[in-house]
């Protein structure tokens, strides 16, 4: 009987893809026969692009063509009885990182985009139609198409030390296009599949650890790294011989398909609408594919699922959101790793001890991050021992949580506890090479604490301020050596957000800046150098967004109308959700800073401070959406708002124009050298969506750049390739 998957791709001409393979780093698929203990022969494919682990295996057109030839030959050998099984694994630490995105981003038509989807389905689909059982031995990183290799195989094992397992496509504005969206839910159930395909990518592209993936049921067995391949081959032999029967407890049954499946999809759709609105296309496209996958897992069902993925992937690949996502991906993968304006790292001072001024929540988060990532002694101080002890207790509790979750072992936990020290005796800063403050956001307070510390620290020690919007030069203006002070601006939550804005004053030395960049990298953060300008990059732009929301509100626009107006931006939060998260007092402070610096461009209202003094300002539903004002807020606002409400489209246009204007001014002022640095800051520091490419590609497409300055940020504009 003809295999339906092979049949549907038998007459497809894939030769147009050859034009996109010229620069491909080909992942080869050599085969060796392995004689198992039972006497059976397993043909083992080892994917290998000939590079080390820093250049993962990827699956471009030439790679797929070679793998197709390999699998065709193995199918013939299986038919003649020469082999009884096929296995597939990867080079050291890596199975595959999925499709070669550089190739996909160069596709020049919807027809060719569909061809790459079909080619992947044709080749990977063969793993389920070789005539003998197939085994994926996932020995390392398996992302996207790498994981789909495993899903198309009959059985799967995973190395317990594998770096990451994921289907990250939705994060990049597309969908799992080589079987992931139809195979995974039929393997692990709809709720688990929704987590892997939709929820995790939207949580800053969260990956699965091997044990998690095994617990979900993605893998049939998990083995340690030391003898992973040997154990996997032994296990495969026992499966072939019937000594082991693979049971998949999470495979959906009839009741799940008829009752639980549609309910889970409905709940997921509602949660998506609440969290991200309806602008991003890929999460909803993935949801549709997952919904339709409940028909089953027969070869006929798979063929139908593959066809749906072909259509959906080709639609998304040619769209604006994918083009912007690839621009954003390139920023994060390349520009973030080679910061513009970072001095030679050889100039950096070696940091053997870190001092944190303060022991409050923010300071304690800093201390925990420094000790965990740098594993050097960390000192915290405060005005009294009670505050110090509270900070130390918080840090100890967080270390305990990390150990309980298996993120660190007990020896490491004990080591980290031993490296943290708290006191009220500031003289101990004498041994610190890098000292950062986390005190009240007021210039005078910061000047005072730095003035005290400067008398204690070594001549070449570096001082850092975490100010979010104050002038670093002004903070350092009373120092004897202001050249050693830099801005080192974290984003909340400290452990999660990947950006640090490193702020250079006209006095900052290259040694101070180099040390800051090296420390940031040691913390696992991406650093962007900015000039010492009000709000730097992220807060300047966020203050503008929130200011335009407040302006419309005080003109008389209803709260929920203002919230809805921002939906087309696709931001992770509405403006008043964001204000409520960062704190109304913080927002009011930033509002004042920006309005003082640029009174003609940033909105401010004294009434905002009255709102900020309330214990609660807005009401929210269980999903965190703002539903209205509290009664106390209504009283504060009464008489302070106007009677000229603004339409949603006008609010959006104002926001677009404000962002475009500020970004052009920031480039003119030299806050950062290029617009790519602004976009990188927004993506890493504010969670700005990949589908916007940060902000500039979106503002170009909407015409805002040309409305305010007469020219787009990018020429040509970053847009999809169309039909």
Question: Distance between CA 309 and CA 301 in Å, rounded?
Answer: 12
Pairing relationship of beta strands 141-143 and 94-96 according to DSSP bridges: parallel
Residue 577 is encoded by which pair of tokens? 């959700």
- Joined together, the tokens standing for residue 692 give 């916007």
How far CA 607 is from CA of 487, 539, 553, 627, 634, in Å, comes to 31, 21, 12, 21, 12
Nearest Cα neighbor of 377 from 419, 320, 336, 428 is 419
Cis peptide before 513 (omega within 30 of 0): no
Tokens describing residue 397: 């509790």
First to last CA, the chain: 36
> 712 with 700: CB under 8 angstroms?
yes
CB 438 within 8 A of CB 355: no
CA distances from 368 to 223, 441, 463 (A): 32, 21, 18
Reported in sequence order, the residue ranges of 520-676 that DSSP labels E, i.e. its strands, are 526-531, 618-620, 626-629
CA dihedral 219, 221, 226, 227 (to 10 degrees): -120
Cβ atoms within 10 Å, residue 655: 24
Nearest to 499 by CA among 486, 485, 488: 488
8 A C-beta contact, residue 608 and residue 550: yes
Q: Which two tokens stand for residue 261?
A: 């499946």
Q: How many angstroms separate the CA atoms of 243 and 235, rounded?
A: 9
Please tell me whether residue 405 adopts helix, strand or coil conformation.
coil
Main-chain dihedrals φ then ψ at residue 135, nearest 5 degrees = -125, 125
The 10 Å Cβ neighbour count of residue 621 is 10
- Say how far residue 338 (Cα) sits from the centre of its chain: 18
- pLDDT value at position 723? 41
Shortest CA distance to 570 belongs to which of 173, 156, 270? Answer: 173
Identify the bridge partners of residue 500 per DSSP, sorted by sequence position. Answer: 527
**Cα 566 to Cα 573: distance, rounded to the nearest angstrom:** 9
Rounded distance between C-alpha atoms, residue 260 and residue 252, angstroms: 9
Tokens of 395: 């840090």
Q: What is the pLDDT of residue 1?
A: 55
Peptide bond into 493 cis (omega under 30): yes
Count of CB atoms situated within 10 Å of the CB of 57: 30
- Of 246, 249, 276, 284, nearest in space to 170 by CA: 284
| Sign of CA pseudo-dihedral 232, 235, 241, 242 | negative
Nearest-5° angle of CA 115, CA 121, CA 124? 135
Burial class (CB in 10 A: 0-12, 13-18, 19+), 628: middle
Helices assigned H by DSSP within 420-463: 443-454
Helix axes 282-292, 180-188, angle to 10 degrees: 50
The pLDDT value given to residue 406: 83
3-state SS track over 621-634: CCCCCEEEECHHHH
Q: Which token pair is 266?
A: 């409905």
Cα angle vertex 547, ends 544, 552, to 5°?
Answer: 130
Residue 194's SS3 state is helix
At residue 576, the pLDDT reads: 93
Q: Are residues 606 and 551 in contact, defined by beta-carbon separation less than 8 angstroms?
A: no
- In terms of phi and psi (left: phi > 0; alpha: psi -120 to 50; beta: otherwise), the region of 319 is beta
Q: Are 171 and 202 in contact (CB under 8 A)?
A: yes
SS (H, E, C) 316-375: HHCCHHHHHHHHHHHHHHCHHHCCCCCCCHHHCCCCCCEEEECCCHHHHHHHHHHHHHHC
CA distance 181 to 163: 22
Give the pair of three-digit tokens for residue 504: 């250079």
Q: What is the mean pLDDT of each run of 10 residues along the chain (723 residues)?
A: 86 93 93 97 98 92 96 97 98 93 81 94 96 98 97 98 96 94 97 97 92 97 97 98 96 93 95 84 97 92 95 94 92 92 95 96 95 97 95 96 90 96 95 95 94 95 94 96 97 90 97 97 96 95 93 96 90 88 87 91 92 94 89 94 95 97 97 97 91 93 95 94 63
**How many of the other CB atoms lie within 10 Å of CB of 669?**
10
Distance CA 676, CA 624 (A): 32
- Per-residue H/E/C for 41-70: EEEEEEEECCCCCCCCCCECHHHHHHHHHH
Residues 181, 197 contacting (CB under 8 angstroms): yes
Per DSSP, the three-state class of 178 is coil
Burial 342-363, CB ≥16 within 10 A → b, else e: bbeeeebbebebbbbbbbbebb
DSSP symbol at 573: S
H/E stretch holding 664 = helix 648-669
Cα dihedral 163, 169, 175, 177 in deg (nearest 10): -50
Which residues does 244 contact at the CB level (< 8 Å), separation at least 6?
235, 238
Exposed/middle/buried for residue 184 (C-beta within 10 Å: 0-12, 13-18, 19+)? buried
Question: Distance of alpha carbon 195 from its chain centroid, rounded?
Answer: 15
- 76's enclosing H/E stretch is helix 61-79
């Amino acid at each position: 009987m003809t295999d339906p998957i092979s049949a549907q791709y038998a007459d497809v001409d894939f030769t147009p893809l050859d034009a996109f393979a010229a620069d491909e780093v080909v992942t080869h698929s050599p085969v060796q026969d392995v004689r198992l203990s039972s006497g059976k022969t397993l043909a083992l494919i080892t994917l290998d692009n000939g590079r080390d682990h820093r250049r993962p295996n990827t699956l471009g057109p030439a790679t797929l063509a070679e793998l197709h030839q390999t699998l065709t030959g193995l199918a013939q050998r299986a038919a003649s009885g020469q082999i009884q099984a096929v296995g597939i694994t990867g080079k050291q630490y890596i199975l595959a990182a999925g499709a070669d995105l550089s190739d996909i981003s160069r596709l020049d038509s919807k027809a060719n985009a569909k061809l790459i989807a079909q080619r992947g389905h044709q080749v990977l689909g063969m793993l389920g139609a070789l005539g003998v059982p197939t085994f994926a031995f996932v020995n390392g990183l398996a992302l996207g198409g790498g994981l789909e290799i495993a899903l198309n195989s009959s059985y799967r094992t995973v190395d317990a030390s594998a770096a990451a397992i994921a289907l990250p496509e939705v994060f990049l504005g597309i969908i799992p296009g080589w079987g992931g969206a139809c195979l995974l839910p039929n393997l692990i159930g709809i709720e688990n599949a929704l987590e892997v395909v939709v929820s995790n990518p939207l949580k800053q592209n969260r990956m699965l650890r091997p044990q998690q993936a095994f617990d979900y049921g993605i893998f049939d067995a998990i083995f340690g790294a030391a003898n992973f391949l040997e154990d996997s081959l032994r296990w495969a032999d026992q499966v072939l011989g019937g000594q082991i029967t693979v049971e998949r407890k999470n495979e959906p049954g009839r009741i799940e398909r008829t009752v639980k499946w549609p309910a889970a999809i409905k709940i997921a759709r509602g949660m998506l609408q609440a969290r991200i609105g309806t602008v991003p296309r890929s999460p909803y496209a993935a949801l549709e594919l997952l919904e339709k996958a409940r028909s089953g897992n027969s070869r006929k069902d798979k063929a139908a699922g593959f066809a749906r993925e072909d259509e959906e992937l080709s639609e998304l690949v040619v769209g604006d959101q994918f083009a912007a996502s690839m621009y954003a991906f390139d920023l994060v993968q390349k520009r973030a790793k080679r910061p513009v304006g970072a001095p030679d790292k050889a100039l950096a001072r070696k940091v053997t001890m870190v001092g944190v001024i303060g022991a409050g929540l923010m300071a304690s988060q800093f201390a925990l991050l420094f000790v965990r990532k740098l594993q050097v002694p960390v000192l915290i101080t405060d005005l009294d021992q009670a505050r110090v002890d509270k900070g130390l207790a918080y840090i100890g509790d967080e270390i305990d949580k990390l150990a309980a979750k298996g993120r660190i072992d007990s020896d490491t936990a004990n080591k980290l506890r031993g490296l943290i020290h708290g006191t009220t005796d500031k003289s101990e800063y004498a041994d610190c090479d890098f000292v950062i403050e986390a005190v009240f956001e007021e210039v005078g307070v910061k000047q005072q604490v730095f003035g005290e510390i400067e008398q204690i620290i070594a001549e070449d020690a570096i001082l850092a301020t975490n100010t979010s919007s104050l002038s670093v030069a002004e903070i350092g203006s009373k120092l004897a050596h202001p050249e050693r002070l830099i801005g080192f601006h974290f984003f909340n939550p400290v452990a999660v957000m990947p950006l640090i804005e490193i702020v250079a004053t006209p006095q900052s030395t290259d040694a101070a800046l180099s040390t800051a960049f090296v420390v940031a990298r040691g913390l696992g953060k991406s650093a962007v150098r900015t000039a010492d300008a009000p709000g730097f990059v992220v807060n300047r732009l966020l203050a503008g967004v929130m200011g335009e929301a407040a302006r419309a509100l005080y003109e008389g626009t209803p709260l929920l109308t203002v919230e809805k107006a921002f939906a087309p931006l696709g931001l992770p939060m509405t403006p008043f959700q964001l204000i409520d998260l960062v704190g109304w007092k913080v927002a009011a402070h930033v509002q004042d800073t920006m309005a003082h610096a640029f009174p003609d461009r940033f909105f401010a209202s004294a009434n905002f401070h009255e709102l900020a003094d309330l214990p609660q300002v807005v009401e929210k539903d269980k999903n965190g959406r703002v539903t209205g004002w509290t009664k106390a807020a209504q009283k504060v606002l009464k008489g302070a708002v106007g009677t000229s409400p603004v339409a949603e489209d006008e609010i959006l246009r104002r926001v677009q124009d404000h962002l475009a204007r500020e970004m052009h001014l920031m480039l003119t002022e030299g806050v950062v050298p290029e617009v790519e640095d602004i976009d990188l800051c927004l993506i890493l520091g504010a969670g700005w969506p990949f589908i916007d490419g940060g902000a500039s590609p979106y503002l170009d497409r909407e015409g805002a750049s040309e409305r305010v300055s007469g020219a787009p940020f990018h020429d040509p504009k970053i847009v999809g390739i169309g039909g």
